[in-house]
Structure 1
């Protein structure tokens, strides 16, 4: 009964949100989204501060013997993670949306403890400007929800990581099918897709990580109780090449 109701409600939501397709096609929202995301970042970081701090605490163990650490962040957005990176590491930023650059510069100026490489406007599925096995750590937070192909992204991550390097992730995922969160995730999936500039809230991303071929994965499921209920289920951790 609940499944049938979910399908009906989802169909209604699809019909109602159809006009938003035109907004997405024109690219107008793509220009507006960075400003929205920049402001949301402050709220999310405040609520998830301890989670992010715990996640990135072990990043330094993947530094080179000389102490250098080259870190690449996929979908860096406005630089919300910079404050959690260790002093002196070199950060290379990538994002498919060039309109984030203005806000990214603000975060760079506010986090002078880091050294910054290029800002690459590329999709995560294809980063030809990044050499094979050239980075020690890859970071991806709240990004795998909006890429076109999660498995292709993870293969690209494995390509650019040096042997023994690590991929750090913090992603919202689909809830357990028995929950009302799962119900509303599927009903409102298309509306969220437009509001989140391509964000999909019904992905079981942990399955893609487990199938990606990493030598070791440290992954745990958490509930981010202080954020919007639709994205409370999260996974976090790191995978070693």
Structure 2
């Protein structure tokens, strides 16, 4: 699978996040960096487990004019929403840091309505045998400890493909710079 130019990454964010409609759950919503991409008619629910980050998210959410916004203090492995309760789920650089990737993806599928869409933007493991992959494996114990659990060596694309979604499509990107960190951006339909 080839790489898409990094310059296309921002366009993909605008197109995919902007295409979400209805009730959208953003897992690991951080400080609210994705509000500018969301359609103004989205009913947004943010999931953020970290207290300090959640406080900043609440301030950011209050400043955006969405018809509905709610912030939940929970992890992606235990989403406190009913089954089939949202039309879309969004994650941006979150799945590297969940404690149980399989459980988080199962929860995403559980809360998505039939026909719902999971939109994701994640940094992923570089191909095995590359210098970047070697560095990711060396860095993983440190980043898991000091960067909210981030494991840069996770094969998130394969995990999403194996999670039981009806269809999964994503493009691969490499962020320019000395490390050439790989990312994926795409959708998984329930």
When normalised by structure 1's length, the TM-score is: 0.70
**Structure 1 moving runs of 4+ over 6 Å:** none
Instruction: Give the Å deviation of 1:60.
Output: 5.9
Distance 2:18 2:142 in 1: 39
Which runs of 5 or more structure 2 residues have no equivalent in the other structure?
A: 1-5
Deviation at 1:163, TM superposition (A): 0.7
Q: Which residue of 2 aligns with 1:57?
A: 15
Aligned equivalents of 1:214, 1:229: Cα separation in 2:
31
Q: 1:109 to 1:117 in 2, by over 3 A?
A: closer
Residue from 144, 147, 151 that aligns with 1:196: 147
Trace 1:82-161 onto structure 2 (pairs within 5 A): 82-112=35-65, 114-127=66-79, 129-161=80-112
Query: Is the CA contact (8 Å cut-off) linking 1:167 and 1:240 kept in structure 2?
Result: yes
| 1:160 positional shift | 0.7
- Cα distance, 1:198 vs structure 2: 0.8
User: Distance between the aligned counterparts of 1:81 and 1:98, measured in 2?
Assistant: 19
Higher gyration radius (CA): 1
> Is the 1:74–1:139 Cα contact (8 Å) retained in structure 2?
yes
Q: Which structure features the higher share of strand residues?
A: 2
2:31 corresponds to: 78
Q: Cα offset for 1:53?
A: 3.9
Give the number of aligned pairs. 185
CA shift for structure 1 position 111: 2.8
Q: Which has the higher helix share?
A: 1
For structure 1, the residue ranges without an aligned partner over 5 or more in a row are 1-47, 64-68
